[in-house]
C-alpha cells in the first residue's frame, strides 16, 4: 500500500491546514462580498498576516490536538496495556480549551503538559466553535448514549482526519464517532466525523477518492440515522460529474456549517479537482458558508490522495505552524517509539 508512505500523511495534515488558512479570511462572508473584495474569481491566494504567514484556525488546532491525543493514547496502550482512546483525546481537547483562554480543570490538572502547549501560536483564538467550547467546559463528557447537546455542526468532522491516518478503517470510523460525541450530540455530526476518518483510511489503501466515497456510503448504510450523510455524499458524487459550476453545485450541497454539508462539499471538490490541489481548495472556500472548514476537509482528502509533493510549495512556505503540523504527521506515521524521550513527548494521559 504505497499510500502508507510518509508523504501521504504529511499531505493530509498539511493539506488540511492550507485549506483552513485559505478559507479563514472569508469564513463569515457571503459570496457576493468575497467577489467584491477579491475579484470575480473570489479568493485565489493565501492572505498573509503582518508576520508574513497565513493563519490557521480552530479547525487545524483541534486536528493537531486530536493527533496528539491519538499518539498519547498509543503510548498508554503500549506501556500500560489498556487505554480508552476517546478519554485520552478528551484530555487533549481540554489542553486545546486551555489555549483558548479558559482555566485549567482542577480535577484533571495533571494533563496540562506536552509539547503542543509550548507553541505560543496555538494560543491564538480564531473563532472557535460554540459546540466545542460549551461541551468541553461542562463537568461531564459527552458520549453517544449521554450527549451534552444536539449539535451536528462541522466542528467534529473538521478535526477527524488523523483517525484515518493512524487506525485501520473500521476502528477509525468507530473511534472518530465516539470522539465526536465528546462535543457533538447529534448522530449526523458524529457520523460525518466517522465518514471522513473512514474515507482517509480507504484512500491510504490505494482507493480512488470516488471509490472511497462509495465505500463510505456502503459503510454508512449499516448505521442508524445515516441518511443525511449518505444523501450529501451521493450529491457530492453526482454533482462532481455534472455541468454545473462549482458555486452552483456547492449551493445544492449546502453551506458547510453542519457536518454532513461540510463533508459533502469537501468530497465534491476533491473528486472534481483530484489532479489540481490548488483549484480544489479555491473551489472549496469560495461560497457563502463555512469556508475554512470546507477548505480543511478538501485539503485533508486530496492531501492524503496526492501526497505533499502535489501541494503548492509557496502555500506550504507561507502558512503558520507547518513545521509542527508536519512533525505530527511524521509521528502518526511512526506510531510509537520505545524510550523515555517518546514518553516525555507523548505521555499516556
- Summarize the annotated binding site for Mg(2+) as residue ranges: 57-59, 290, 292-293
Beta-carbon contacts of 340 under 8 Å, excluding residues fewer than 6 positions away, are: none
Residue with cell 488540511: 16
Structural Rg of the chain based on CA atoms: 18
Beta bridge partners of 319: 54
Q: Binding-site residues, please?
A: 57-59, 290, 292-293
H or E stretch covering 57: none
Beta-carbon contacts of 190 under 8 Å, excluding residues fewer than 6 positions away, are: 144, 156, 177, 180, 181, 184
Between the two ends of the chain, the Cα-to-Cα distance in Å is 32
| Cα gap 167→248, rounded to integer Å | 36
Nearest to 276 by CA among 117, 60, 44: 44
Beta-carbon contacts of 78 under 8 Å, excluding residues fewer than 6 positions away, are: 336, 348
Q: Which 3-state string (H, E, C) describes 159-207?
A: HCHHHHHHCCHHHHHHHHHHHHCCCCCCHHHHHHHHHHHHHHHHHHCCC
How many CB atoms within 10 Å of residue 134?
A: 13
Beta-carbon contacts of 225 under 8 Å, excluding residues fewer than 6 positions away, are: 187, 188, 191
> What three-state secondary structure class fits 339?
coil
Amino acid at each position: 500500500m504505497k499510500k502508507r508512505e510518509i508523504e501521504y500523511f504529511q499531505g493530509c495534515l498539511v493539506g488540511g491546514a492550507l485549506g483552513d488558512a485559505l478559507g479563514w479570511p472569508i469564513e463569515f462572508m457571503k459570496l457576493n462580498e468575497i467577489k467584491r473584495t477579491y475579484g470575480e474569481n473570489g479568493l485565489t491566494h493565501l492572505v498573509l498576516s503582518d508576520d508574513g504567514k497565513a493563519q490557521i484556525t480552530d479547525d487545524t488546532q483541534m486536528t493537531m490536538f486530536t493527533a496528539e491525543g491519538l499518539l498519547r493514547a498509543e503510548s498508554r496502550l503500549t506501556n500500560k496495556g489498556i487505554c480508552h482512546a476517546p478519554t485520552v483525546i478528551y484530555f487533549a481537547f481540554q489542553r486545546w480549551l486551555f489555549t483558548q483562554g479558559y482555566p485549567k480543570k482542577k480535577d484533571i490538572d495533571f494533563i496540562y503538559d506536552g509539547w503542543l502547549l509550548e507553541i505560543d501560536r496555538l494560543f491564538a483564538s480564531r473563532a472557535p466553535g460554540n459546540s466545542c467550547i460549551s461541551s468541553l467546559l461542562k463537568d461531564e463528557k459527552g458520549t453517544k448514549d449521554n450527549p451534552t447537546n444536539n449539535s451536528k455542526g462541522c466542528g467534529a468532522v473538521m478535526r477527524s482526519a488523523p483517525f484515518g491516518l493512524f487506525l485501520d478503517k473500521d476502528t477509525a470510523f468507530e473511534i472518530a464517532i465516539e470522539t465526536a460525541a465528546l462535543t457533538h450530540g447529534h448522530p449526523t455530526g458524529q457520523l460525518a466525523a466517522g465518514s471522513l476518518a473512514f474515507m482517509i483510511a480507504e484512500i491510504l489503501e490505494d482507493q480512488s477518492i470516488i471509490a472511497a466515497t462509495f465505500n463510505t456510503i456502503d459503510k454508512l448504510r449499516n448505521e442508524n440515522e445515516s441518511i443525511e450523510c449518505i444523501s450529501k455524499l451521493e450529491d457530492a458524487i453526482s454533482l462532481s460529474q455534472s455541468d454545473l459550476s462549482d458555486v452552483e453545485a456547492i449551493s445544492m450541497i449546502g453551506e458547510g456549517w453542519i457536518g454532513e454539508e461540510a463533508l459533502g462539499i469537501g468530497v465534491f471538490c476533491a473528486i472534481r479537482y483530484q489532479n489540481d490541489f490548488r483549484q480544489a481548495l479555491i473551489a472549496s472556500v469560495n461560497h457563502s458558508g463555512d469556508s475554512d472548514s470546507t477548505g480543511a476537509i478538501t485539503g485533508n482528502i486530496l492531501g492524503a490522495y496526492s501526497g505533499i509533493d502535489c501541494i503548492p510549495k509557496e502555500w506550504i512556505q507561507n502558512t503558520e505552524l507547518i513545521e509542527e503540523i508536519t512533525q505530527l504527521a511524521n509521528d502518526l506515521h511512526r506510531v510509537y517509539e520505545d524510550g523515555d524521550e517518546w514518553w516525555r513527548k507523548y505521555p499516556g494521559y
